[in-house]
């Protein structure tokens, strides 16, 4: 049996502002933007080089969904952006005014810093160390 996680739904306030953030601030690629109905679109973005998984940007459709915008993981780091060059990406993100809430730190598993997306969801920017490099392949 072969399985994989294909998409992760990320509840957003507005499709276009989310697309703008992910493509202009984080350099993600817009994989698809298809209108499904009035007010609903199928929008997928992914980091350049992603092979398996992408984000499905899902506009909140009711109050319960809207309440989870920016807090999909209850205040914990929700998503992990792996990089092959931490300092290149960290510097670019600082220049683009991405808000980091934890500064860069060398951990047992690699170099990491925590940043917020446009709604406040927490992400790790992570360059795995040599022992863990295989996770990027």
Superfamily name with CATH number, domain 71-137: 2,3-Dihydroxybiphenyl 1,2-Dioxygenase, domain 1 (3.10.180.10)
Task: Tokens for 109, please give them.
Answer: 């598993």
Indicate the pTM of the whole model.
0.90
Superfamily name with CATH number, domain 1-69: 2,3-Dihydroxybiphenyl 1,2-Dioxygenase, domain 1 (3.10.180.10)
The pLDDT assigned to 1 comes to 86
The pLDDT assigned to 127 comes to 95
> Distances from the Cα of 67 to the Cαs of 11, 35, 45, 62, in angstroms?
10, 24, 22, 9
pLDDT means per 10 residues, the chain with 137 residues, are 92 98 97 94 94 93 96 94 96 98 96 97 93 57
Between CA 125 and CA 88 the distance in angstroms is 11
Q: Do residues 67 and 76 touch, judged by C-beta distance below 8 A?
A: no
The pLDDT assigned to 52 comes to 83
CA angle 88, 25, 48 (to 5 degrees): 65
């Amino acid at each position: 049996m072969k399985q994989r996680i294909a998409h992760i739904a990320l509840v957003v306030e507005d499709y276009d502002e989310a697309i703008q953030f992910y493509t202009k601030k984080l350099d993600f690629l817009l994989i698809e933007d298809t209108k499904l109905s009035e007010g609903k679109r199928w929008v997928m973005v992914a980091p350049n080089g992603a092979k398996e998984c992408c984000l499905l940007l899902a506009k909140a459709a009711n109050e319960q969904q809207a309440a989870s915008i920016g807090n999909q993981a209850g205040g914990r780091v929700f998503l992990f952006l792996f990089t092959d060059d931490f300092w290149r990406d960290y510097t670019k993100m600082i220049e683009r005014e991405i808000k980091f809430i934890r500064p860069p730190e060398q951990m047992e598993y690699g170099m990491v810093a925590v940043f917020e997306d446009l709604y406040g969801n927490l992400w790790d920017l992570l360059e795995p160390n040599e022992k863990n490099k295989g996770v990027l392949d």
